[in-house]
Amino acid sequence: MRLGSLLVLLSLGACSSGSDEPEAKLWTVHDFLALKDKLDREGEPVSLGGWQPRELLVEGGQPLRFVPGAQAGAHGLTLWPAVTGGGAASFVITEIWENHPEPWVQPVWAPRDSGGRPVSGALNVFPVGEKSTFYSPFWRAEELLTEQVDESTYRSSRDVLSGKFTRRSGTIILCPIVPAGTGFADDGNGTLHPMTRAPVTLKPVPPEAPHPGWLPRELSGGWVDGVRVDYYDFGGDHAPADEQNLREATAYFFVRRAGERPLPLAAVLQADALRHSLVRRVDVVLPEGAAPFVPAERGDLKTLLEGRELIVPAAPAGFGDYALRVAADPSCFSAANFPAACDWLDSPARLEALPSGARIVRPVQLAIGVVLP
C-alpha cells in the first residue's frame, strides 16, 4: 500500500472515531439503489450530499425526472440538465463524497498478449470494489503485456501481483462500478436530453477514448478479487491529476436558500466540462427577482419546479436549449430579441460576479459523466 493511501485511510478512520469531525461518506450507484426507500428521522427520503436516491436512480415503472413517461425495464440513472461553454449539456451522477478526503486514482489492469493486443474473454481487473474506502471511479489504465495469457490468467489483485508481465501505463479513465442491469433514464423509446428532449447518443466507447461526450451503450464486465462486476466505461481524460491526486473543478447548483437541496435547474459547469468529471458542489442562492425559463409547451417542467415552490413565469414556446436556465430578470422572456435580451446566470464568470454571499462551497464532491449536446 502506498504511503499516501495509508494516510488517507487513517484520516478516514479519524473522521468516524467519535471526534467532532463530521463522518466521511461515499455513496455509489449501489447505494442509490439500496437506499431508495430509506427515510430520515423526519420521515423524508435520505439525502446523499443533497440529492435523494430516487432522484439519482429511477426504478422501472417510476416517473422520469425531467421528461414525460416512466422508466422502462430496470433502474436507470437520471440525466441532469447543465450548461457548459454557453451550450446545453447533461450529466449523470455516479458517486457522491461528503466530508471526504480527496478521491484518488487506483490502477485498473487490462490483460494483453505480448504484442499489446486484447485477449479474447479476458476482463479488466480492479484492485478494489465500490465498498472499499479506496474506491473511486477514476482509474489509471495499465496494460499487462504477458507471454502466455488467457481469460483466466488475471482475475484478482493477487493474480496481478504474482504475474510476470510488462506494464504499460495509459490515461485516467472514468469507469464507475454499478449494479447489474443499470441503465439510463429511458421510457422505452430512448434516452432524452432533459432540456431539449432530443435523443441522447448511446454507443460503445473505444478503449481510453478521450472524453467522447456520449453515454456508453452497454455495461462492461470486470473482476474484483475473483468476483465479476459490471461497470460503465466513459472513456479517458476525464480528470486532470497529479500522480494519484485528482484535481477537482467547480459545478454550480442553484438553491432557494442557503443549506437547502439543489433545485432541478440547469447546473453550470466549466467550459471544458468533459475533462472535469470530478466536481465540487457550490451552491448559488437564487438572486431576488431571478427565475428559470420553461418553454410554454413544457408543462412537465413547470409542475416539477412548482413542486419545489418556484415561480415559473410565462414564456414563449421552443428554445429548448434554454430550458431550466436562470435569467436575472424574467421580463426578458417576452422581448422581441429573446433569448439575446436576457442576462443569463449560466456561466462560471457570471456566477462569480454575484455578491460573495450568494455562493456557498459545500463539502460535497461528485463524479459525473457529462454528455454533449
pLDDT for 223 equals 98
What is the DSSP secondary structure assignment for residue 332, as one 8-state letter? G
Phi then psi for residue 169, to 5 deg, are -85, 145
pLDDT for 307 equals 96
The rounded distance, in Å, linking the Cα atoms of 95 and 104 is 13
User: Cell triple for residue 262?
Assistant: 439543489
Q: Between 217 and 19, whose confidence is greater?
A: 217
Edge-to-edge strands, sheet with 138-146 = 166-174, 138-146, 106-113, 124-126, 220-224, 227-231, 177-178
pLDDT for 242 equals 86
pLDDT for 135 equals 96
In this prediction, residue 102 has a pLDDT band, given cuts at 50, 70 and 90, of confident
Task: With a cut of 80, say whether residue 1 has pLDDT above it.
Answer: no
Q: CB–CB of 313/306 below 8 Å?
A: no
What is the enclosing helix (H) or strand (E) of 280? strand 278-285
In this prediction, residue 218 has a pLDDT band, given cuts at 50, 70 and 90, of very high
Task: With a cut of 60, say whether residue 237 has pLDDT above it.
Answer: yes
pLDDT for 19 equals 59
Choose among 324, 363, 365, 275: nearest CA to 94.
365
Q: Provide the CA 133 distance to its chain's centre, in angstroms.
A: 19
Q: pLDDT digit string (tens) for 2-19?
A: 333 433 443 444 444 455
Q: CB–CB of 76/57 below 8 Å?
A: yes
Proportion of the chain above pLDDT 70, given as a percent: 95
Q: Between 237 and 300, whose confidence is greater?
A: 300
Q: CB–CB of 145/168 below 8 Å?
A: yes
- Which residue bears the cell 499516501? 4
| 166-191 average pLDDT score | 95
Instruction: Measure Cα distances from 230 to 76, 77, 90, 183 in Å.
Output: 14, 15, 23, 11
Q: CB–CB of 177/229 below 8 Å?
A: yes
| 173-195 average pLDDT score | 96
Q: pLDDT digit string (tens) for 67-83?
A: 999 999 899 999 999 99
Q: pLDDT digit string (tens) for 256-300?
A: 999 999 999 999 999 999 999 999 999 999 999 999 999 999 999
Question: Beta-carbon neighbour count of residue 18 at 10 Å?
Answer: 6
Residue 35: strand, helix, or coil: coil
User: Cell triple for residue 11?
Assistant: 484520516
By the 10 Å C-beta count (0-12 exposed, 13-18 middle, 19+ buried), 59 is classed as middle
pLDDT for 15 equals 44
User: What residue type is 256 in one-letter code?
Assistant: R
Q: Provide the CA 89 distance to its chain's centre, in angstroms.
A: 13
| pTM (two decimals) | 0.93
Phi then psi for residue 276, to 5 deg, are -135, 80
Q: CB–CB of 359/280 below 8 Å?
A: no
Is the peptide bond preceding residue 45 cis, with omega within 30 degrees of 0? no
Sorted by sequence, the CB contacts under 8 Å of residue 269 that are 6+ apart come out as 82, 83, 84, 89, 91, 249, 251, 252, 276, 279, 370
The mean pLDDT of the chain is 92
pLDDT for 325 equals 98
What is the DSSP secondary structure assignment for residue 243, as one 8-state letter? T
Choose among 143, 145, 215, 209: nearest CA to 176.
215
pLDDT for 3 equals 31
The rounded distance, in Å, linking the Cα atoms of 153 and 74 is 33
Q: pLDDT digit string (tens) for 309-364?
A: 999 999 999 999 999 999 999 999 999 999 999 999 999 999 999 998 999 999 99
